[in-house]
C-alpha cells in the first residue's frame, strides 16, 4: 500500500508541473458528456459503460483545469446517482453557450470485437454539421485513441453516413445522433472500444486505464488547436504469465522513482466477481518518467522478477509489455484418457496438457509407451499441450505411458511428474484399450415410413441397424406401440435376424389395430451391439391405419408340406441366367411372419450368371389347391417378403382369362426393387396400379389365378442372395354397408371356404366348418352392401357343411351377373368372401 500511495503523490506533483506548461486554450470552454447514467449499458462482469464514461470524463476535466489555461470545463453529471436524459444534456450545453460538445462512450457488440469509432454531425446531403469542427476533431481523436488503446478502428464517420440502415436522416435531414443534431456548437461522439469484450471490459475497470484514455482526449484537444504536446514521459503496458498469457494480478512495477501495482482481486475485482481467478487486466501506467534510459523492474509473487531498460518517448506513451516466468514447475494438469480408463478407443488421440510451455524435443525424446507403439506428436497452445497419434495400439490391451522427470520446460525447469512441488519425478499413465467397435448401433432404415398413411390394419414395424445387435437387449420395455388418441399400448412379438452383418428387428402387433387411427412405434435407448455399445436416442415411427375394410383370402400360407406346391426354379423353361447350384427353394422355420402366426416360409436362394445378359427366375405353382384360388383385378394382391437389401427385382405373375389357360395370358406386376432388409408387405393394386410387361398384353381383363413368383438381376446389384416369402394372399374390399367384425380369420377354428366353382353359372357351393354347437348365419350381399339372400340361419352341430346358392334373391328372382359377397357369422366369428356370377 505504501508504494501505491507514492504513485499518486507523484501524479499530483506532475499535474502541478504541467499546469505551467500548456497555454493556448484561454477564451475557450468545453462541455463533457459522459454517456448514459447510473448503471446503464451494463458490460460483462457487472461493470457498466455509464460508470466508466463518468470516470474518464472526470479525469479529463481534472487534466484540462489543472494543466491548461482553459476558461471552463462543463460536465453533464458528476456522480453515479444522477439520471440525465439526452435532451437535458444538450439543453444544458446550449444554455451555457458551450464552445464544444464532447460525448464519451464505449461500444457494444460481439465479444470478439474491440475497435474505436468517432462519429461527427452530418446532414443527409453529406455536409458537416454547422458549426464545423467535429469532423476535424474526430479525425485527430480516432488516430490517437486507436494508437493509445492498441486496437483496431472502425474510423471516423459522419453519423448519417454511418447509420445507413435508418431512414431518420432522410426524413429529418440529419444529423442522426441527438447530441450532434440538437447541440448548437461543434460536437462529436467517441466510442472507445467495446465494453462487451472481456479483455477490454477488465481494462475499463482500472483507474490507471481511465487516466490513459483521458490523456488521449486531452492530447487530441491540444493538437486540434495546434498546441505542442508537453514531454510525455509515460510508460504503460500489460504484465502477463509467459506460459499461459494470462494477465498477472498484483504485479509491482518500478521505473526510477515511479511505481504502480496491477489490479488484484483484493484491490478491485472482488466488486465484480466471487471467483478470485476470473478477472485479470495486468495493466500498469506510470507518468513523470525522466527523459533518459531507466530501469523497469517487475516483480510478482510466485514469479521470477524481470528487469528491462526503457527509453521513454517524449511525444507518446511508451508501451512496455512484460512476460514473467512462473516459479511453478512444469506438471501435467489433464490427460485424455484419464488414469485407469478402460475401453479406450485404440485409434483415439492420446492428449496431454501441461501447466507450462514445454521443450518439445525433451518431451518427444524421453516419453515412452509400453507395449511399444509408434508415436506422432502434434503440439498446440504454445507448446503446452500435445496429442499422440498411433496406428499400432492393440485392442483390449493395457498400456503405460511414462514421461520421466528429466523432461524440461521452455526455461529448463525439470518436470514435476507427481505434483509434489519438486522436480525430477516421473509421470505414469495407465489405460486399457477397448474392443474394435466403440460406436453405438445406428438405425439406418425403418418401416412404415415416418407419418405413413393408409397402412394395413396390422402393420409390422421394422428397424434396420448398421451392425449386428445383441437380441438379449430387446426387453419388454425397449419398444412400445401406442395408439395416439387413447394412449392404449398394443402388445407385440418380435423377431431378430441378421443379414450381411446387419440386424433387423421386426415388431409384430398381436392385436388388430383400430381403423383410421394414428400409432407411434417407439424404440427406446438401450439397444446394444455385440460389443455392449448402447443406443442413447429414442427412435420413433408414426403411421395411420387404413379406414377401408377388407376380407382376406389366403392363396398360399406356406405351412406344412407346402414345397410340393411349387416347382423348383431350375425346372421352369422360363428360368435363365442363373447359377443352378446357387438357385433353389426350400421351407424355412427361422424367418416367418408372426402376424399370421406362421411357422414356416418359402426360402428362395439365387445366384446370377454374369456371363449372360438375360436373367429370370420363375418359381411357379403346380396344379395344387393354391392354384385353384380365383380373383380379378379388383382385388389387392399381397405377399410378405423378407428382403436381403440386394437391389435385385421381384414381381408377381398371374394367369389371365381362366379357365382358358394359355401362355399368352401370363400377366405380371411391375418390378419391385428389393432395397430393404427384413419383412415388408409388398402390394399390387391391380385395379389402379400399372402392370408389367412379359408374355401377355399387359391388361387384366378376365378371371385371374396365381402363376409364379419371379426374380431378375438388377445390374449393379448383388449377384447372389436369399429372400423369404410368406402369406401370399389377396384382399377384397368390403362395402361400407356390410359389417365385419374385428378379428376376422382369427376367432376359434371356424372355417369358411371359397365357393366353387367360381366364377359360376347358374349355381355355386359354399363349404364351411363348425367346431362347436351354435347358431350359424350365412348371408349373400351385393357390392352396395344390400342383403340379397339369407342362405342359412340356424343351429349347427360340430362338423363340415355345405350350402348351395342358385343365383336368386329372396324373391326367387334371378340376379344380374357380377360380384357378390357371402358372410358367415357364428359365436363371435365373422368372415367375408367374394364370388363372381357370370351370364
Same structural domain, 297 and 370 = no
Task: Looking at 563-715, list the stretches that DSSP marks H as alpha helix, in order from N- to C-terminal side.
Answer: none
438 in any annotated domain: no
482 and 418 assigned to the same domain: no
The domain total for the chain is: 6
- Same domain, yes or no: 709 and 621: yes
15 located within any domain: no
- Residue 31 to residue 149: CA distance in whole angstroms: 24
**Phi-psi region at 12: left, alpha or beta (left = phi > 0; alpha = psi -120 to 50):** alpha
- pLDDT (0 to 100) of residue 15: 31
CA dihedral sign, ordered 31, 37, 42, 48: positive
CATH of residue 194: 3.40.630.40
Question: Could you tell me the residue range of the domain that residue 415 belongs to?
Answer: 332-432
Within-domain flag for 498:
no
Residue 725, in any domain of the structure: yes
Q: Are residues 607 and 581 in the same domain?
A: yes
Q: What is the pLDDT of residue 14?
A: 30
One domain for residues 282 and 153: no
> CA–CA separation, 235 vs 211, rounded Å?
12
Whether residue 34 is found in the same domain as residue 79: yes
Give the pairing of strands 539-545 and 452-455: parallel
Q: What is the pLDDT of residue 736?
A: 62
pLDDT score for 20: 37
CA angle 272, 273, 279 (to 5 degrees): 90
Q: What percent of the chain has pLDDT over 70?
A: 96
Measure the CA–CA gap between 690 and 700, rounded to whole angstroms: 10
Asked, for residue 262, whether it belongs to a domain, the answer is yes
Q: What is the CATH number of the domain that holds 534?
A: 2.60.40.1220
Tell me what pLDDT residue 563 has: 84
In this structure, the answer to whether residues 590 and 463 fall within a common structural domain is no
Considering only CA atoms, which of 432, 435, 431 is closest in space to residue 335?
Answer: 431
Q: Which of 695, 713, 732 is the last residue of a domain?
A: 732
Distances in Å between the alpha carbon of 767 and those of 268, 556, 736, 804? Answer: 100, 19, 25, 9
CB neighbour burial string for 298-320, b if at least 16 within 10 angstroms, e if fewer? bbbeebeebeeebebbeeebbeb
Phi, psi of 802 (to 5 degrees): -145, 155
Q: Are 521 and 596 members of one domain? A: no
Low-confidence ranges of the chain (pLDDT < 50): 1-20, 740-748
Q: What is the pLDDT of residue 5?
A: 29
pLDDT at residue 11, rounded to an integer: 28
Q: What pLDDT score does 747 carry?
A: 32
Q: Is there a domain that residue 503 lies in? A: no
Cell of 392: 499400432
Residue that finishes a domain, picked among 293, 324, 355:
324
Question: Does 724 lie in the same domain as 635?
Answer: yes
Same structural domain for residues 541 and 555?
Answer: no
* Cβ-based neighbours of 5, under 8 Å, separated by 6 or more: none
- Look at residue 404 in the predicted model and tell me its pLDDT: 97
Single out the residue of 114, 105, 122, 112 nearest to residue 154, CA to CA: 114
Residue 656's domain is classified under what CATH number? 2.60.120.260
Pairing state of beta strands 187-194 and 101-107?
Answer: parallel
Q: What is the pLDDT of residue 363?
A: 97
Phi, psi dihedral angles at 471 (to 5 degrees): -65, -20
Do 342 and 412 lie in one domain? The reply is yes
The verdict on 719 and 746 lying in the same domain is no
* 9 within a domain of the structure (yes/no): no
Q: With left for phi above 0 and alpha for psi between -120 and 50, is residue 798 left, alpha or beta? A: beta
Domain end among 266, 291, 324:
324
Q: What is the pTM of this model?
A: 0.54
Amino acid at each position: 500500500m505504501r508504494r501505491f500511495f507514492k504513485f499518486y503523490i507523484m501524479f499530483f506533483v506532475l499535474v502541478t508541473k504541467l499546469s505551467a506548461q500548456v497555454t493556448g486554450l484561454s477564451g475557450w470552454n468545453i462541455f463533457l458528456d459522459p454517456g448514459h447514467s447510473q448503471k446503464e449499458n451494463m458490460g460483462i462482469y457487472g461493470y457498466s459503460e455509464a460508470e466508466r464514461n463518468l470516470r474518464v470524463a472526470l479525469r479529463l476535466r481534472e487534466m484540462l483545469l489543472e494543466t491548461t489555461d482553459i476558461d471552463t470545463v462543463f460536465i453533464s453529471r458528476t456522480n453515479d446517482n444522477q439520471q440525465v436524459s439526452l435532451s437535458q444534456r444538450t439543453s444544458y450545453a446550449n444554455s451555457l453557450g458551450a464552445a464544444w460538445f464532447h460525448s464519451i462512450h464505449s461500444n457494444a457488440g460481439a465479444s470478439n470485437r474491440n475497435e474505436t469509432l468517432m462519429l461527427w454531425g452530418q446532414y443527409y446531403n453529406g455536409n458537416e454539421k454547422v458549426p464545423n469542427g467535429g469532423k476535424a476533431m474526430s479525425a485527430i481523436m480516432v488516430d490517437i485513441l486507436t494508437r493509445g488503446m492498441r486496437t483496431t478502428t472502425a474510423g471516423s464517420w459522419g453519423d448519417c453516413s454511418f447509420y445507413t440502415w435508418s431512414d431518420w436522416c432522410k426524413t429529418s435531414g440529419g444529423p442522426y445522433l441527438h447530441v450532434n443534431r440538437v447541440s448548437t456548437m461543434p460536437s462529436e461522439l467517441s466510442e472507445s472500444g467495446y465494453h462487451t469484450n472481456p479483455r477490454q471490459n477488465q481494462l475499463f475497470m482500472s483507474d490507471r486505464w481511465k487516466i490513459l484514455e483521458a490523456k488521449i482526449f486531452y492530447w487530441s484537444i491540444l493538437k486540434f488547436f495546434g498546441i505542442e504536446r508537453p514531454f510525455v514521459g509515460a510508460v504503460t503496458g500489460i504484465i502477463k504469465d509467459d506460459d499461459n498469457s494470462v494477465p498477472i494480478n498484483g504485479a509491482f512495477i518500478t521505473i526510477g522513482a515511479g511505481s504502480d501495482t496491477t489490479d488484484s482481486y483484493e484491490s478491485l475485482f472482488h466488486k465484480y466477481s466471487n471467483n478470485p481467478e476470473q478477472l485479470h487486466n495486468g495493466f500498469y501506467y506510470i507518468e513523470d518518467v525522466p527523459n533518459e534510459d531507466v530501469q523497469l523492474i517487475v516483480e510478482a509473487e510466485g514469479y521470477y522478477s524481470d528487469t528491462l531498460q526503457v527509453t521513454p518517448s517524449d511525444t507518446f506513451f511508451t508501451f512496455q509489455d512484460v512476460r514473467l516466468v512462473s516459479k511453478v514447475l512444469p506438471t501435467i494438469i489433464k490427460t485424455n484418457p484419464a488414469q485407469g480408463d478402460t475401453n479406450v478407443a485404440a485409434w483415439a488421440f492420446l492428449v496431454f496438457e501441461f501447466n507450462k510451455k514445454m521443450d518439445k524435443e525433451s518431451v518427444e525424446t524421453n516419453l515412452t509407451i509400453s507395449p511399444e507403439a509408434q508415436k506422432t506428436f502434434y503440439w498446440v497452445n504454445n507448446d503446452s499441450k500435445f496429442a499422440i497419434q498411433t496406428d499400432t495400439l492393440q485392442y483390449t490391451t493395457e498400456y503405460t505411458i511414462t514421461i520421466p522427470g528429466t523432461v524440461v520446460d521452455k526455461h529448463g525447469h525439470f518436470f514435476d511428474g507427481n505434483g509434489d512441488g519438486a522436480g525430477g519425478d516421473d509421470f505414469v499413465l495407465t489405460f486399457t484399450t477397448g474392443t474394435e467397435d466403440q460406436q453405438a448401433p445406428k438405425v439406418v432404415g425403418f418401416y412404415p415410413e415416418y407419418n405413413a398413411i393408409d397402412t394395413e390394419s396390422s402393420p409390422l414395424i421394422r428397424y434396420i441397424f448398421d451392425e449386428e445387435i445383441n437380441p438379449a437387449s430387446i426387453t419388454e420395455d425397449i419398444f412400445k406401440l401406442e395408439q395416439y388418441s387413447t394412449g392404449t399400448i398394443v402388445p407385440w412379438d418380435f423377431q431378430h435376424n441378421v443379414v450381411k452383418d446387419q440386424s433387423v428387428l421386426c415388431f409384430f402387433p398381436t392385436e388388430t389395430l383400430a381403423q383410421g387411427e394414428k400409432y407411434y412405434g417407439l424404440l427406446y435407448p438401450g439397444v446394444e451391439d455385440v460389443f455392449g455399445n448402447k443406443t442413447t436416442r429414442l427412435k420413433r415411427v408414426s403411421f395411420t391405419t387404413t379406414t377401408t375394410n377388407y376380407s382376406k383370402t389366403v392363396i398360399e400360407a406356406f405351412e406344412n408340406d407346402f414345397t410340393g406346391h411349387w416347382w423348383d426354379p431350375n425346372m421352369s423353361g422360363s428360368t435363365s441366367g442363373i447359377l443352378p447350384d446357387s438357385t433353389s427353394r426350400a421351407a424355412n422355420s427361422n424367418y416367418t411372419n408372426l402376424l399370421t402366426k406362421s411357422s414356416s416360409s418359402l426360402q428362395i436362394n439365387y445366384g446370377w450368371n454374369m456371363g449372360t445378359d438375360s436373367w429370370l427366375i420363375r418359381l411357379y405353382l403346380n396344379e395344387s389347391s393354391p392354384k385353384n384360388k380365383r380373383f380379378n383385378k379388383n382385388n389387392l394382391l399381397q405377399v410378405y417378403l423378407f428382403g436381403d437389401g440386394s437391389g435385385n427385382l421381384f414381381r408377381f405373375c398371374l394367369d389371365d382369362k381362366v379357365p382358358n389357360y394359355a401362355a399368352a395370358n401370363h400377366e405380371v406386376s411391375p418390378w419391385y426393387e428389393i432395397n430393404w432388409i427384413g419383412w415388408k408387405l409388398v402390394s399390387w393394386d391391380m385395379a389402379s396400379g400399372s402392370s408389367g410387361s412379359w408374355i401377355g398384353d399387359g391388361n387384366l381383363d378376365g378371371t385371374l389365378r396365381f402363376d409364379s413368383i419371379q426374380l431378375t438381376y438388377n445390374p449393379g446389384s448383388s449377384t447372389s442372395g436369399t429372400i423369404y416369402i410368406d402369406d401370399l394372399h389377396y384382399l377384397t374390399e368390403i362395402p361400407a354397408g356390410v359389417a365385419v367384425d374385428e378379428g376376422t380369420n382369427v376367432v376359434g377354428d371356424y372355417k369358411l371356404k371359397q365357393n366353387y366353382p367360381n366364377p359360376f353359372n347358374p349355381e355355386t357351393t359354399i363349404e364351411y366348418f363348425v367346431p362347436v354347437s351354435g347358431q350359424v348365419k350365412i348371408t349373400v350381399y351385393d357390392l352396395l352392401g344390400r342383403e340379397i339372400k339369407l342362405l342359412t340361419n340356424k343351429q349347427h352341430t360340430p362338423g363340415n357343411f355345405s350350402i348351395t346358392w342358385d343365383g336368386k334373391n329372396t324373391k326367387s328372382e334371378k340376379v344380374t351377373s357380377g360380384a357378390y359377397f357371402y358372410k358367415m357369422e357364428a359365436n363371435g366369428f365373422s368372415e367375408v368372401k367374394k364370388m363372381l356370377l357370370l351370364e
